[in-house]
Amino acid sequence: FKQEIFLRYARPNQNIQFIGLGKKSEMKLNRLREALILASAHAGRLKVPSLTLHLSSVGSFEDYTVKEVTQAAVESLVLPLYKFTPFKKEAKENSGVKTVTVAVDTAEELTEGKKGLEKAKLFIDSCNLVRNLVNTPHNALKAPDLANMAQDVAKKVGLKVTVFTEKELQKEGFGALLAVNQGSDIPPRFVILEHNSGKKELDTICLVGKGITFDSGGISLKPADSMETMKDDMAGAATVLGIMEMVAKLNLPLHVVGFMPITNNMPSGKATVPGDIVKSYLGKTIEILNTDAEGRLILADAVAYADKNYKPTLLMDFATLTGACVIALGEAGAGIMGTDQASMDKLKKLSCFTGDKVWQLPLWEEYREELKSDIADLRNIGTGRGAGSSKGGMFIQEFISSKTPWIHFDIAGSAFISKPTHRYYPKGATAACVRLVSEFLINWPHH
């Protein structure tokens, strides 16, 4: 797609859309985003090849600059146009919008608007990278493939990259990750991506993403209904890759390190079974009572490695972790929890700008009691049925120092949706939280 911005001047219009935005006193940026999403969809139905927004027509936003409003407008017009077609024999050429134009009134608006346009283009590219990866089926994106893709992105944008193979994971003691991989014929990978490597004077932010390329549930096999969507269980790792690409392109003055533990979760005669006890990277032992609670196992090793070796100023992890989060929040947003309240408050505020909805869930001490095992240090599922998302987050917390600020994102509902929404997303992958966390890092420090 081509996007432009220029000073407004008279030009003939074949189709003009008028969209009511409600009372000016109640005007919020999210309302503008949703209105422009509708405009983009309508233009697509009309097969209009180009779309122009006159920025002055949307009024002023006291809390946002021309740059920010332009960014929001371009994202809202372009993100809904995404289509995933690599596996179609005769993929139809997009007959809809190919050019998006934002027209402004003054030279000052032109300067600021161009900045917003460039930022939006970067965000859209990273979001579509994530969407493409998450939508790709398992037979085309196994653990080595995803690791290779991460290496390609790293080379393109100048990130330092390190990849652990199965042999190196065994040497390092990634017992929990290897236990999940035990039933598979496909070797695991652990990818480390680093921006501003060696710059010790900068704050260190660690991003860890769950990379289960397909989750059958293992021996605790999932029901067949909708199992095909379990290709999305690597959305956390894809999210980290998308954010790292953005960080590198923007050359943020931070030391940011991304971690992608990658494997599938398959049943076989050699697979881990319920009742097995494994030793994690941190040394804690885990009684595995349900092999379908595997994401927290690979994250346990990954966050422990990140925490021990990089001493982060803040550690964030991203995972399609629990069905409980989908039950609680549906597909509209992500659950967040953690120990850094100031950062979570900032994320909630920024979500009003990006449209990536998040909702904070509790980490009450009562849940910790349910993770205790009679014969190991921890069990990988709680003893009760309730609060599954919080218990999953609390399990991960067990592998991070109490001194390390930490936030967990459960994107199980929002990373991959079952039907199109009125927001940016056609059915499938959404790149949930990529823009939100990128904005968060751009605005660092915020305390």
Which active-site residues does the annotation give?
222, 296
Using CA atoms, how far residue 27 sits from 33, 34, 59, 247, in Å, is 11, 12, 9, 31
Cα angle value 73/124/234 (rounded, 5°): 135
Nearest Cα to Cα of residue 227 among 238, 236, 218, 235? 218
Q: Which residues contact 124 (CB under 8 A, 6 or more apart)?
A: 74, 75, 78, 79
Identity of the residue numbered 128: N
- Largest interatomic CA distance in the chain: 76
Cα 293 from Cα 313, distance rounded (Å): 28
Using CA atoms, how far residue 357 sits from 329, 352, 385, 392, 398, in Å, is 10, 8, 26, 20, 26
Token pair listed for 269? 């005669």
Q: Is 22 left (phi over 0), alpha (psi -120 to 50) or beta?
A: left
Q: Are 253 and 282 in contact (CB under 8 A)?
A: no
Token pair listed for 171? 């040497």
